[in-house]
Amino acid sequence: MYNLLKGKRGIIFGALNSQSIAWKVAERAHEEGAEFVLTNAPIALRMGELNELAQKTGSQVIAADATSIQDLENLVEKSMEILGGKIDFVLHSIGMSVNVRKGKHYTDPNYDFTTKGWDISAVSFHKTMNVLYNKEAMSEWGSIVALTYMAAQRVFPDYNDMADNKAYLESIARSFGYFFGRDYKVRVNTISQSPTPTTAGSGVKGFDGFIEYAEKMSPLGNATALECADYTITMFSDLTKKVTLQNLFHDGGFSNMGVSDPVMDKFE
């Protein structure tokens, strides 16, 4: 490997199992020389296999509800103790729609479910940066990345209220990213990934059909979870020190396509 993250310390949110992009990011960060803490909600820790990843990467696991300021404060303080200093990189890979899970259509949601999903998927990013900012926990030229999807900009009917959540997430990255850059020389970006067969992604109605469509639309094909991890590692490295406030499309070119020959062939 390239030792891109040698000597760097991080916090990785959201790894659940080996399909998770966050899981792949952790594996790649370890290969590139980083030390980090792994975190997820207590219920996700019971459901997932995070201890296996921790053992593999020599990491510690700290349970934290990312919607709780108290939990986040505990997470950040303990992470700095464990890692022996300020944090160089953070990955926010958290998203959940209760309306999707409960089969509620976008035109007839349960608004309590909407609020819960909004809090988990987007406001948690603001809360995380709030704690990092106010505790001055990030190193100068550190990097914070959140994972998103282009339904924040375009209509994907079955993505439901997760589209709204992602749009809010991206706005938070820009707005908080300004203050983090101005005050601490920390960069904040979002990566808009191809549809990826993770546990969360696979829960979206019609996912299999859509992933095939995206593959045919994208001149380079869909980006895999591992390829997304590689891109994220570059965003954590010192090679991208002046990239901030960006929503970075990592989707094989899908986001700039109108139509492709393979898709047109279906209609001719």
Catalytic residue list: 149, 159
Residue at 227: amino acid letter: E
139 is in an annotated binding site: no
Pairing assessment for the beta strands 138-148 and 87-92 based on DSSP bridges = parallel
DSSP class of residue 120? Answer: I
* Beta-bridge mates of residue 191: 147, 248
21 is in an annotated binding site: yes
14 is in an annotated binding site: yes
User: CA 226, CA 116: separation in Å to the nearest integer?
Assistant: 29
Residue at 136: amino acid letter: E
185 is in an annotated binding site: no
> 11 near 71, Cβ under 8 Å?
no
Query: Measuring CA to CA, how many Å separate 202 from each of 39, 205, 209, 221?
Result: 22, 8, 11, 18
Query: Measuring CA to CA, how many Å separate 233 from each of 22, 90, 152, 158, 217?
Result: 11, 11, 23, 30, 26
166 is in an annotated binding site: yes
* Beta-bridge mates of residue 40: 63
CA 101 from chain centre, in angstroms, equals 19
User: CA 81, CA 85: separation in Å to the nearest integer?
Assistant: 7
Residue at 28: amino acid letter: R
Encoded tokens for 128? 């995380």
DSSP assignment of 232-248, as one string? Answer: HHHHHSGGGTT--S-EE
Binding residues for NAD(+): 14, 20-21, 94, 166
Binding residues: 14, 20-21, 94, 166
